[in-house]
């Protein structure tokens, strides 16, 4: 995709609250409206977490189905569901929506990671189980890497035939307790990639905007959204997820790049569609 860039919006996440960001979309209809707005602003992929009626993160298949159906009534955006879930979810709970709903894309965490004082466990056996189910159902994985070792761990799955090209990575940088965002760290992750792999750069918190510039400078793709950062600038809350997508699209345009459409990404990543 010459002169194209892919923008993903992670609109809700598992940890962000309405208290922290009043515009956070919680209900399926709110998420669907957000998907429509972000698609119009230039996003091709929506990274989807869902919440229950109380606003708590959940891996409920029924809730994912409800959100996906609401999104599909409004937008052709690619839906990438999370299998990272939230702290405390079991591997079985995290994987169940992939098995039952067979989305076009889903995240696949490539190692155990600290989240501040908590952590999410992803052993190689867990990764193998997830990758095998993804392959069986033709779900394209975003190989989320929070640490440099995760990039190397993912290559066990490639060598064992559990992943098929094209490989798509997500570098999640600046999570408390994991690898901070810096140009040097981003370049180290890129150097560890298998040949020909694509990557999206995800800067958490204050690193969100620098990470977008880093992605553009290194030929990567961009992720924004309230899962990663709720502010537009220092001390100023973003008014919507779409506002963050609009800025990402604008700086991409200024660098001579055009945001890819969902159908262009479907073709490029060979999604089931």
Would you say residue 273 lies in a domain?
no
Residue 233 bridge partners (DSSP): 236
pLDDT at 273: 57
Q: At what angle do helices 241-254 and 28-41 cross, to 10 degrees?
A: 20
> Total structural domains in the chain?
1
In contact, 45 and 77? CB cutoff 8 Å: yes
Single pTM value for the model:
0.97
Residue at token pair 């867990």: 126
The predicted structure's pLDDT at residue 9: 99
- Asked whether the beta carbons of 130 and 84 are under 8 A apart, the reply is no
| 253 within some domain | yes
- Per-residue pLDDT, averaged over 142-148, amounts to 97
CB contact at 8 A, 174 and 185: no
Nearest to 11 by CA among 230, 214, 252: 230
pLDDT category at 225 given cuts 50, 70, 90 is very high
- 196 exposure class (CB count in 10 Å sphere: 0-12, 13-18, 19+): exposed
| Residue 120: CATH number of its domain | 3.20.20.70
Q: What gap in Å lies between CA 244 and CA 246, rounded to an integer? A: 5
Report the percentage of the chain scoring pLDDT > 70: 100
In total, the chain counts a number of residues equal to: 273
Contacts of 98 (CB under 8 A, 6+ apart): 81, 83, 106, 130, 133, 134, 137, 139
Residue 218 half-sphere exposure, CB side, CA atoms within 13 Å?
26
Q: Is residue 259 part of a domain?
A: yes
DSSP state of 206: G
Average pLDDT value for residue range 20-27? 98
Boundaries of domain holding 249: 4-268
34 within some domain: yes
The closest alpha carbon to 70, from 114, 24, 14, 29, belongs to 29
**CA-wise closest residue to 146 among 117, 114, 184:** 114
């Amino acid at each position: 995709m010459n002169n194209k860039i892919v923008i993903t919006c992670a609109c809700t996440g598992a940890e962000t609250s309405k208290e922290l960001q009043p515009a956070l979309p919680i209900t399926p209809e709110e998420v669907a409206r957000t998907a429509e707005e972000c698609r119009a602003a230039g996003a091709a992929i929506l990274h989807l977490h869902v919440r229950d009626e109380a606003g708590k993160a959940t891996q409920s298949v029924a809730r994912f189905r409800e959100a996906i159906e609401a999104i599909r009534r409004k937008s052709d955006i690619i839906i990438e569901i999370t299998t990272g879930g939230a702290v405390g979810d079991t591997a079985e709970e995290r994987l169940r929506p992939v098995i039952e709903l067979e989305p076009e894309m889903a995240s696949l965490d490539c190692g155990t990671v600290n989240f501040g004082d908590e952590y999410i466990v992803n052993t190689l056996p867990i990764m193998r189980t997830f990758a095998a189910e993804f392959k069986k159902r033709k779900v394209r994985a975003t190989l989320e890497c929070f640490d440099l070792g995760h990039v190397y761990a993912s290559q066990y799955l490639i060598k064992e035939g559990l992943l098929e090209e094209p490989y798509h990575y997500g570098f999640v940088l600046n999570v408390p307790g994991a690898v901070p965002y810096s140009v040097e760290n981003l370049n180290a992750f890129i150097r560890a990639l298998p040949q020909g792999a694509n990557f999206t750069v995800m800067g958490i918190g204050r690193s969100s905007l620098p990470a977008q510039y880093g992605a553009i400078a290194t030929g990567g793709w961009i992720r924004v959204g309230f899962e990663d950062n709720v502010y537009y600038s220092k001390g100023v809350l973003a008014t919507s997820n779409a506002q963050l997508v609009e800025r990402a699209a604008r700086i991409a345009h200024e660098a001579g790049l055009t945001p890819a459409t969902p159908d262009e990404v479907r073709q490029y990543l060979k999604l089931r569609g």
